[in-house]
Every structure is written in structure tokens, then in C-alpha cells.
Amino acid sequence: MKTDGLINRERVEELSSHSDEPTSTLERILVVDDDPSVLDFLAKLLVRQGYQVETASSFGEAITLLQESPFALTLTDLSLPDGNGIDLINRVHSRDPHAICILITGFGTMESAIDAIHARVYDFLPKPFDMNQLLATVRNGLERRCLEIENQRLIEELQAERQSLQVRVDEATQDLQTKLHEVEKLNNEITVLFEIMRDIRGDLRMSESLDRLSEYLKRALEFDSLFWVVTDMSDQLISHRDLSDAIPSQFALHDLSPSQLEDLRSLISGKEDLGVRQSLIRNWMMTHLEPDLKGGDLIVGPFRTSSEFFGVIGVCRSSRFGEEDQRLLSLAVSQLVTLWEENAVIQRGSQMASIGELTAEVAHDLRNGISALRHITDHFLGEIDLSDPQNADYQEVLTENLCRTDDLIRELLALGRQEEDLSHTTPVRKLLDRVLRISGRTLERNRVAVEVIVDDEDLVVSGSIKEISEALINVIMNSIQAMEQGGKLTLGAQTSQPASEAEESMGRFVRIFVTDTGQGIPPENLKRVFGRYFTTKSEGTGLGLPRLQKLAKKHLGRTEIESEVGKGTTVSLFLPRV
């Protein structure tokens, strides 16, 4: 393409030699024109301005350069020997949308101007063009490119920040919804526990209490059915409540063998830790009652008082339970059992108040009768010949029974008497000697051999020697009655370590124990022996072991009993060592 008269060469040289400082550093510019002189002058002009310039004299050559690397700005003639400047600009933009394209031509038309607009040409410069205008257009175009790129970067950052903010908002919203759900669930749990405490009375029957418990739990805990496996003093009760039915149904335990039911009893009354027993019972239920549970999940809460574990109360459903469900069930069952315990304490207190009044009256009448009987006995003893061995035996039996009756009166009064002074201390060796001196003739007459074991002769315990010896004599009398054909009784004392954190503050304890070789106590009675008035003997009062336990509690000690049917029993009294 001829360009004579289109460029003022002197003006070009002047601009090149007197140009300002470069406005850009190494911006890559592609110049495309089929006139070598135009290419040469434009390249020199732009290089002096600090740009990196590549030149092409044809469409094909320009495409080759574009394929090698992009250019920030393309300055092209409209008409090329093998192509069109508009087509070249479209190819440039397809590679880099932010590239600046300037179109120069000496034969511009309205149609070419419209095509240039469609091709997003930055500027359209007709020949001959002014060099100052050309350089200003290049600078402005490159600045616009930088602004577009920066604007695009900021938009992308803004979008990324917006997305990140949206994610955080979604997470916070989800977390808030979770917290609200937890608060709502916790509020339901508190309401349920409050209503259990308010509405379920300790004097309700177990079935009535558990029916109400299931109604309250259903409001805070989704489940299909409620069941309980509880042993009492007489038998084992296994019941089931299916909330979908109006009539309660029973677990199909009739299909289980006696050995399987005995296994369940053993799990409930075992010696394992509470949590272990609870887990074992759950596993047993999941294994043996699987058809009734229909392959669902099951959780259980411990049915236990402050001192005893009687079984579990549980719920089951088709879906899995969570830890919060287990916690709520345990709290609800604990609340229920606490109400029963409180009611039992109130009932016992009322009973003891009545018994206290009754024993005072009975003791008064008994003592009057005993006094009269003693006078009559003394009179008759003065009239008979005591040198006769048979008469002497009658005297001993009569005197011993009068003493036992007097002791019984004191025991009845001691149960309702106010706490005595706790400042007394007792040497253990002196205590054991006193106990054996009082009970020695009875032991001998019943053919019971005695062994005394004391690991420290200087042991001293808290408590009155009279009170402790009377309690131990009652235990010894129980042992004698358990050894109907005679046997061996071991009476001993030894130092014992604290059994709990509460006892650690009191230091060491002394264990005073009575071991016999009698018939032993059946397991079903072992938990009841410390209950007042419980006895298996036709003439027993059931006050001996309860009195021992009361003595231990008064001095912050404790009692224990171990027994095996056919082998014997050991009763231990733990008192703080002084």
C-alpha cells in the first residue's frame, strides 16, 4: 500500500528525537502494514516511547506472531494483501478480550467504520494521521487496557468475596438454626423433666408411672415403644408399652428358655460396673428380642436408687438414637426413681414416727411386766435348791431370757431415740473381749468354736463400747442361729483403707467382722437384710442388722455383708480409726 504524502517524515524524526519520557515499559505492540516505510517509522517511534514492538507486513504473518504470544495493543491497516484488518482484530480479541486494537486506513468508508465498531476497535485513525494523536491514542488505549484488567480483577475478587461471604452467611444461618433446634430440644427436655417432677407421684404404681413417663418422653424424644426390665424382691417384671396400640402388649418372653431368663436376671443383679451392666443388658435385649424390636435401635436408662441397681427402662425405634437421646432418657428415669425414693423416705419417716410412739408405750408395759417377773423369779430362786445341776440350768436359762427380753426393749427404744454423744472411743481388743464374755456361754452351749483375729492390739475406733458390743452380739446371735448343728465363728478386726473419696478425708478405718460357717443367705434376701423388721426366723425381730447399720452411719462408717448358701456369712462393720 502506497503512503506517499500520508506521512511527514521530518515531523516523525522531530517527534522521535524530542519525545517525552516513555509512558510504559516494555508493553508489547504489534504493528501490521504492507508498507515497509510505515512499519519502519511506526516501529522506531513506538520503540523510542519505551514499547516492545513487533511488525508484520501481511495478515498471515500477523497471525503467526499472535499464535506465538499475545500483544497488549495491535495497530493494523484496514487493507492487507492477504486479508482484512477487521478479521485480524477479531482474531486478536478471540485470544485476548482486553487487547487494544487501533485501525488505520487511508480509504475509510462508513461501512468500514461500522464494521470497526462491531469488532470493538478502540479507535479509527484515517491517514494521514497526526503523530501526537497516534501516540496519545496508544497511551490512552494501553491505560484503558490496564484499567479493564484491574477492573476485571477487582470484579473477580468482589465475586469471590461475595461467594465467601455467602458461604459464611449460609454456615452462620445453618449454625443458628442448629442452635435454635438445640435450644428448642433442650427446652422440651426441661419441660418434660419438670412435668415428670410435678405430675408423677412416688406413690403411683410402676405401670401408672411408666405410662405417664412414656407420654412425657414422647414430646421430646421420638420413639416407637417403651419397655422396662426390672427385678424386685419377689420376681422379675418385664413389660412393654407400644405407643401405636391402645392396649399395652408384652415382649414375647415366653419363647425364651429358663436359662436365658436366668441370664437376664444375672446381668441385672451382677457385680459389674453400672455402665457395663447397662451395656450388657442392652446387648442381651438386642440379641434375644430382635423380632420384637424389628431390627431397630434401642437405648436404656438405669433404673437405680442411691444404693441399688434394679434394671433398665428403655425405648426403641426404627432409626438410630443419638447421645442426646440417651442423656434425656437417663435423666428422666433418674427423676422418676428419685421421686419414688423420696416418697419411700416420707413413708418410712411416717411409719417410724408411729413406731416410735408405739415402742414407748410397749416398752413401758414390757418393763413393768419384766420387773414383776424378775421379782417373782428371785422369790422362787430363793425357795429352790440351786445346788441341783438341773435347777442351776433352769436358773441360767431363765436369767438369760430375761436379759434378752430387756435387750429387745432397749433395741426398740434405740431405733427411735435421738442421736447420742459421738465423742466416745473404744479400744478394739477390749470390745472383742467384752463381746466374747457376754456371748461365750451361748456359743459354748451351741457347740460353736471361736477364733479371734486382730492384726493390731492398739486399734481404737469411734463409738461407745456398750453400743458397739450390743450391735455385735446381735450379729453373733444371728450366726449362732444359722449354725444349728454347731460350727465355727471368727471374730476379728483389721485396718482398712477408705472405700470412697468421702471416706478419704477421714483417714483409715477399722474393719470389725463376724464370720460364721452357717447355712448362708439366699441372694434374693441378701439385699433386704438391712431393712428393718426383715427376718426369716419365726421368732426374729429383724432389728439386729438395721441397728448395726444405724450405728455405722452415726459414726460415718458403713456395713457390708457377704454370704454364700451352704458355706456361711461374713458381716463387717467399718468405723473410723481414732
- The pLDDT of residue 176 is 85
- The pLDDT of residue 430 is 92
Whether 395 is in a domain gets the answer no
- Residues 568 and 439 placed together within one structural domain of the fold: yes
Q: Which helix (H) or strand (E) holds 392?
A: helix 389-416
Whether 177 is in a domain gets the answer no
Single out the residue in 342, 370, 402 at which a domain terminates.
Answer: 342
Number of structural domains the chain divides into = 3
Whether 147 is in a domain gets the answer yes
In the Cβ-directed half-sphere of 14, how many Cα atoms lie within 13 Å? 8
CATH of the domain at 491: 3.30.565.10
378 vs 561, higher pLDDT: 561
Whether 40 is in a domain gets the answer yes
Its domain, for residue 38, covers 9-153
CB 334: neighbour CB atoms within 10 A? 16
- Residues 210 and 128 placed together within one structural domain of the fold: no
Whether 355 is in a domain gets the answer no
Task: At 14, list the grid cell.
Answer: 522531530
- Residues 442 and 531 placed together within one structural domain of the fold: yes
CATH of the domain at 130: 3.40.50.2300
Whether 185 is in a domain gets the answer no
Going by pLDDT thresholds of 50, 70 and 90, the confidence category of residue 423 is low
Going by pLDDT thresholds of 50, 70 and 90, the confidence category of residue 494 is very high
346's CB contacts (< 8 A; 6+ apart) are 202
| Of residues 102, 130, 145, 121, the one with CA closest to residue 45 | 130
| 392-412 residue pLDDT tens | 666 676 776 777 677 666 666
Range with lowest mean pLDDT among 3-7, 59-63, 380-384 = 3-7
Whether 413 is in a domain gets the answer no
CB 17: neighbour CB atoms within 10 A? 8
Single out the residue in 323, 342, 361 at which a domain terminates.
Answer: 342
- Residues 435 and 569 placed together within one structural domain of the fold: yes
Longest dimension (CA), the chain: 173
CATH of the domain at 249: 3.30.450.40
Most trustworthy range by pLDDT among 244-258, 265-279, 294-308, 442-456: 442-456
296 vs 68, higher pLDDT: 68
Single out the residue in 297, 318, 342 at which a domain terminates.
Answer: 342
Would you say residue 298 has pLDDT above 90? Answer: no
| 543-566 residue pLDDT tens | 567 878 888 888 888 888 888 888
In the Cβ-directed half-sphere of 261, how many Cα atoms lie within 13 Å? 14
**Cα torsion for 488, 491, 497, 501, to the nearest 10°?**
90
Whether 557 is in a domain gets the answer yes
Q: Which helix (H) or strand (E) holds 133?
A: helix 131-199
This prediction has a pTM of 0.37
> Rounded distance, CA 573 to CA 576, Å?
10
